[in-house]
Amino acid sequence: MLEWGAFQAQTGAMIPSNWYNIVPDLPAPPPPPLHPGTRQPVGPDDLAPLFPMELIAQEVSGERFVPIPPEVLDVYRLWRPTPLIRARRLEKALGTPARIYYKYEGVSPAGSHKPNTAVPQAYYNAQEGVRLLTTETGAGQWGSALAFACAQFDVECQIWMVRASYDQKPYRRSLMQVYGATVHASPSTLTGAGSKVLADHPDSPGSLGIAISEAVEVAAATPDARYALGSVLNHVLMHQTVIGEEALQQLPEMPDLVIGCTGGGSNFAGLTFPFLREKLAGRISTVFRAVEPAACPSFTRGVYAYDFGDTAGLTPLLKMHTLGHSFVPDPIHAGGLRYHGMSPLLSHMYDLGLFEAVTRAQSECFEAGVRFARTEGIVPAPEPTHALAETIAEALRCKESGEEKVILTALCGHGHFDLAAYDRHLAGRLEDYTLPQDRIDQALTELPA
Cβ-Cβ contacts under 8 Å for 88 (sequence gap 6 or more): none
Q: Which residues contact 393 (CB under 8 A, 6 or more apart)?
A: none
Give the span between the Cα atoms of 284 and 140, in whole angstroms.
36
| Same-domain pairing of 333 and 261 | yes
**What confidence tens digit (pLDDT) does each residue in 1-28 have?**
334 444 454 456 799 999 999 999 999 9
Mean pLDDT of the chain: 92
CA–CA dist 178, 159 (Å, integer)? 13
Where the chain has pLDDT below 50, the residues are 1-7, 9-10, 335-336
Same domain, 206 and 269: no
244, with CB counted inside 10 A (0-12, 13-18, 19+), is: buried
pLDDT score recorded for residue 354:
98
Answer yes or no: do 289 and 399 share one domain: yes
The secondary element (H helix, E strand) that includes residue 20 is strand 18-20
Q: Are residue 362 and residue 238 in the same domain, yes or no?
A: yes
Cβ atoms of 160 and 214 closer than 8 Å: yes
E-only strand ranges, 224-348: 225-227, 257-261, 287-293, 303-308, 317-322
Three-point CA angle 20, 15, 25, nearest 5°: 15
157 belongs to a structural domain: yes
Q: What are phi and psi of 110, to 5 degrees?
A: -85, -5
Tell me, yes or no, whether 366 lies in a domain: yes
pLDDT at 439: 85
210-234 residue pLDDT tens: 998 999 999 999 989 999 999 899 9
What is the domain-level CATH number for residue 271? 3.40.50.1100
Task: Tell me the one-letter amino acid at 139.
Answer: A
- Asked if residue 194 and residue 54 are part of one domain, the reply reads yes
Regarding whether 290 and 183 lie in a shared domain, the answer is no
Q: What DSSP letter does each residue of 167-223 carry, written as one string?
A: HH-HHHHHHHHHTT-EEEEES-TTSHHHHHHHHH-TT----HHHHHHHHHHHHHHST
Instruction: Please compute, for residue 56, the number of CA atoms within 13 A of its CA located in the half-sphere on the CB side.
Output: 16
User: Are 104 and 160 in the same domain?
Assistant: no
Q: Quick check: is 72 in a domain?
A: no
Q: Which of 198, 227, 256 is the last residue of a domain?
A: 227
Are residues 244 and 383 both part of a single domain? yes
Whether this model's pTM surpasses 0.85: yes
Backbone angles phi, psi at 276, to 5 degrees: -65, -35
Number of domains in the chain: 2
Chosen domain end from 166, 196, 227: 227
Q: Compute the CA torsion angle 186, 190, 192, 196 (nearest 10 deg).
A: 50
Question: Is 22 among the domain residues?
Answer: no
Which residue, of 182, 209, 227, is where some domain finishes? 227
Task: Assess if residue 372 is contained within a domain.
Answer: yes
Residue 211 structural domain: 38-59+114-227
